[in-house]
């Protein structure tokens, strides 16, 4: 049986604004098993990236708990955080802006090895060369600079840097969204190969449902800072239950010309994430909203491993 590597319990991340508190991540709970990939999907601005960055302490949480290897790492001091950084890494969305333009490929990959003070300069250089070869960076590119490379190779540098210290958990923050489709496939295959070789655990953040279906075992659907549905990947695509999830999946292009897909068009205004009222935040755009939707909602298990936050889920499915 798989072991839980990392867990969020009622995690919150709020930002202060002139109009009030922006609820970017609001009462989010989930578990990720060792060696698996959990996809996080939702439209732009729903809090996916903020959630990922909060999990690895690039942003500090407002409330709730983060458990890593059964240890509470919600609040850590500077020394503990440095150690934690070696086990939790991130691959950023933009492979160009995430790299130092004044550092060569080799220097970029060696840097975390030297900062960790585990290796001598010679050992760090040797390990960096092994890592660069592993991610498919040719030797002729090792002394090149980011502006001399295409997007796919830049992202391979980002991946090499992320795996340099042999972490167990990596947040993949839309790592292929800025790449051409053909390059996307190469990078996704590389991530899966590394996962098998090193038993890595991923949180894969994306808005591309075809990508998340390909790479994830479990999927969380976010809407305005909250999880509205979590499920094993196959079940979510086979039997989505939340109205928002159904609308998302209806927008995925289909190659089946014999069966025309019925598109669910959302209408209504987005609820403000600044000091939102209790209740379902999707209700203003939902065709099935009722008075009960204005009451606080919570994720409930409707089938093994399948959780939905909707008071009408049993009536509608």
pTM: 0.92
Torsion of CA 203, 182, 162, 132, to 10 degrees: 150
**Distance spanning both ends of the chain, measured CA to CA:** 31
CA neighbor of 169 nearest in space, from 304, 4, 1: 4
Q: What angle do CA 294, 295, 297 make, to 5 degrees?
A: 110
Contacts of 247 (CB under 8 A, 6+ apart): 264, 266
The pLDDT of residue 1 is 46
Q: How far apart are CA 269 and CA 288, in angstroms?
A: 15
What does the domain layout of the chain look like in residue ranges? 4-87+165-316
Q: How far apart are CA 243 and CA 240, in angstroms?
A: 8
pLDDT mean values, one per 10 residues, the chain (317 residues): 87 95 95 96 92 96 96 92 93 91 95 91 94 94 94 94 96 90 90 95 92 92 95 93 91 72 79 90 89 90 92 81
Q: Domain 4-87+165-316: which topology?
A: Rossmann fold (3.40.50)
Give the up-direction half-sphere exposure of residue 299: CA atoms within 13 A in the CB hemisphere: 21
Q: How far apart are CA 37 and CA 30, in angstroms?
A: 13
Residue that is written with structure tokens 């936050």 in the block: 309
Q: 244: which 2 tokens?
A: 């928002």
Give the up-direction half-sphere exposure of residue 21: CA atoms within 13 A in the CB hemisphere: 11
């Amino acid at each position: 049986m798989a072991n839980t590597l990392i867990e969020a319990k009622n995690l919150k991340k709020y930002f202060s604004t002139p109009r009030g508190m922006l609820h970017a991540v609001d009462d989010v709970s989930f578990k990720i098993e060792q060696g698996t990939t959990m996809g996080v999907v939702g439209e732009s601005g729903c809090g996916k990236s903020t959630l990922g960055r909060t999990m690895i302490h690039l942003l500090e949480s407002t409330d709730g708990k983060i458990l890593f290897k059964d240890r509470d790492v919600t609040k850590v001091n500077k020394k503990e955080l440095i150690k934690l950084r070696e086990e939790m890494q991130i691959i950023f969305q933009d492979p160009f802006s995430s790299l130092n333009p004044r550092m060569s490929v080799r220097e970029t990959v060696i840097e975390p090895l030297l900062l960790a003070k585990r290796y001598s300069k010679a050992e760090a250089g040797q390990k960096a060369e092994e890592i660069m070869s592993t991610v498919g960076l040719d030797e002729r590119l090792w002394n090149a600079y980011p502006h001399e490379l295409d997007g796919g190779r830049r992202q391979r540098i980002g991946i090499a840097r992320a795996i340099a210290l042999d972490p167990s958990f990596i947040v993949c923050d839309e790592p292929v969204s800025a790449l051409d489709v053909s390059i996307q496939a190469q990078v996704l295959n590389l991530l899966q190969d590394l996962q098998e070789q090193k038993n890595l655990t991923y949180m894969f953040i994306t808005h591309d449902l075809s990508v998340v279906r390909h790479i994830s075992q479990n999927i969380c659907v976010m809407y305005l800072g909250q999880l509205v549905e979590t499920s094993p990947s196959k079940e979510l695509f086979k039997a989505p239950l939340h109205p928002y999830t159904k609308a998302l999946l209806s927008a995925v292009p289909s190659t089946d010309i014999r069966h025309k897909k019925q598109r669910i068009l959302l209408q209504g205004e987005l609820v403000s994430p600044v000091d939102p009222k209790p209740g379902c935040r999707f209700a203003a755009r939902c065709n099935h909203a009722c008075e009960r939707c204005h009451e606080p909602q919570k994720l409930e298990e409707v089938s093994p491993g399948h959780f939905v936050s909707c008071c009408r889920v049993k009536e509608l499915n």
